Amino acid sequence: MTSEPKLRHPEKAHKADNPSPRKPKWIRVKAPTSKAFGETRRLMREKNLHTVCEEAACPNIGECWSLRHATVMILGSICTRACAFCNVATGKPGPVDPLEPENTGVAARELGLKHMVITSVDRDDLADGGAGQFALSIAKVHEYSPHTTVEVLTPDFRGKDGALAEVIQARPDVFNHNLETVPDLYRDVRPGADFQRSLDLLKGAKELDPLVFTKSGIMVGLGETNTQVLDVMDAMREADVDFLTIGQYLQPTPKHAGVDRFVTPDEFEEFASKAKDKGFLHVASTPMTRSSYHADADFAALKAARAAKLKG
């Protein structure tokens, strides 16, 4: 009989004790109460699928699941890294579920999704970093729900040879990889990651498929300066990133990285304005913005922006 893997939940993995400050009035979410929310949760359980909505304690889960928008998190629910902002459990993952790709495709069909987001934990224990499971999952969505467009939000695969190419060859419509924060905060906030490696991943995706939309996001309120945020925008544009998301960091537990400040809605609008001036095709910048939040509408906006650019 095999023993259960030992987990380090983030509240135990991070030693700092950072009581979260009181949230301002513009940080408000609705409690999940709709029938569609319950049906979405039921389907995820029936198909043995994990979602980043639940595992990362996303504040938008009530709204998104009420619209049947769930972000599937493949490769299990245990991450090999312990980022200071993330609520996903850390430890030694179990084997990859061979039925996960098919169940992901079936979920896309049964939810009637126009656009599906697939993400994952970090799997540094796997030879390909989990790229093969991403490719299979994309293929199964195409098979079971051919009218569903697919967005992937991937880890950096540790820069493993061939990993990115395997994902891109499966033809996702959007390739997303989050930079998460500014370079100066990586050591404390995103250990195990490398800013330049992440940039190279985004740039490489566009080089492998010039037609794929590339996307990346950061959180603010971790201690960065506005100048550093603008510098990250410039770095993204140099990597030919099409779509930028910026949202407020919200501390999952007192043992996670502390909230340095709550950025005002006016500042988010200013970030959006500057990002558009820098040439991003689309920008989502609000306190409650998350990578997969309103992803279907954002994809439609991306396509429209590219068409307008080509026409102009």
Sign of torsion over alpha carbons 138, 141, 144, 145: negative
**Phi, psi for residue 7 in degrees, rounded to 5:** -110, 145
Domain assignment of residue 18, yes or no = no
> Does residue 306 lie in a domain region?
yes
**1 domain residue, yes or no:** no
Instruction: Assess whether pLDDT exceeds 70 at residue 34.
Output: no
121 assigned to some structural domain: yes
**Degrees (nearest 5) of the Cα angle 61, 63, 64?**
65
CATH code of 243's domain: 3.20.20.70
- Provide, rounded to the nearest whole percent, the portion of the chain with pLDDT above 90: 62
Separation of alpha carbons 163 and 158, rounded Å: 9
Mean pLDDT of the chain: 86
What residues contact 201, with CB distance under 8 A and at least 6 apart? Answer: 154, 156, 157, 159, 164, 177
Give the other-Cβ count within 10 Å of 237's Cβ.
15
Determine contact, residues 256/85, Cβ cutoff 8 Å: yes
Place of tokens 């910026």: 246
Instruction: Specify if 267 maps to a domain.
Output: yes
Is 5 contained in some domain? no
Average pLDDT over residues 10-17: 51
Q: How many CA atoms lie within 13 A of 13 on its CB side?
A: 23
Residues 173 and 175: their CA atoms lie apart, in Å, by 7
Residue 144 confidence class, pLDDT cut points 50, 70, 90: very high
How confident is the model over 208-242, as pLDDT tens digits?
A: 999 999 999 999 999 999 999 999 999 999 999 99
Parent domain of 259? 26-311
Q: Which strand (E) or helix (H) includes residue 19?
A: none
Gyration radius (Cα) of the chain, Å: 18
Higher pLDDT, 112 or 239: 239
> Cα 116 to the chain's mean position, in Å?
12
The answer to whether residue 16 is domain-embedded is: no
Q: What residues contact residue 22 under an 8 Å CB cut-off, 6+ apart?
A: none
Provide the domain count of the chain: 1
Spatial separation of the C-alpha atoms in residues 235 and 1, rounded to whole Å: 50
In this structure, is residue 13 part of a structural domain?
A: no
Residues paired with residue 248 on neighbouring β-strands, in sequence order = 220
